[in-house]
Structure 1
């Protein structure tokens, strides 16, 4: 019971690890001076509304930072032909062994399947006072 629960939790954890290792996203931050005004993970960050004033002054007090979290995008995909001859032989032997491992058992003949026991009128052991101890 505990082994199956642990196995399932470990499997889910590894699946989540693979998912998050391949996902990439960006974090955008908008600063007005030294004050953080807006932060966003998937969309553009919220501005402070100083764009009109910045155009007139030609000097910007605001700055945007973009942090990119890159996921793994180069996954190694190998085909059967890329393996060595020893690895190919092992893979073929393993699959053949695994397929032939689960053969069905022969159907067993039960000779007394259709036999019905006689109807008991009285319990003979109680009648003769014979009991197994």
Structure 2
């Protein structure tokens, strides 16, 4: 091996070691497998809280599943399951697809002005209510 080859191999070895510790190279991140709900009844059974609203406003962001997710203030018009007061305002995170490059590639389901039924779970890690999955948890009404 020539001197130049040894230097190149040493630099490559340092790059691999440094890259492994900085997030460069292969990722050890695990991704969720989201359940595909077949009906409103299935979503309701999985939800801690089901509310109806026609008033949703952006409310900054919340840290969910390791990413900054959109947060909303939702005014409760009706409660179909769980504990909430009609007229109260809930802070809700829109569950992101944390393994996608764009966490809302298929659209943010809470980004609507239409009346909706919202199926929510308590996210203990984030300390916030959130939609069931990035793809299920908001049902258009009317």
In the superposition, the TM-score normalised over structure 2's length comes to 0.25
Q: Which structure has the higher relative contact order (CA within 8 Å, separation 6+)? A: 2
Q: Which structure: greater helix fraction?
A: 1
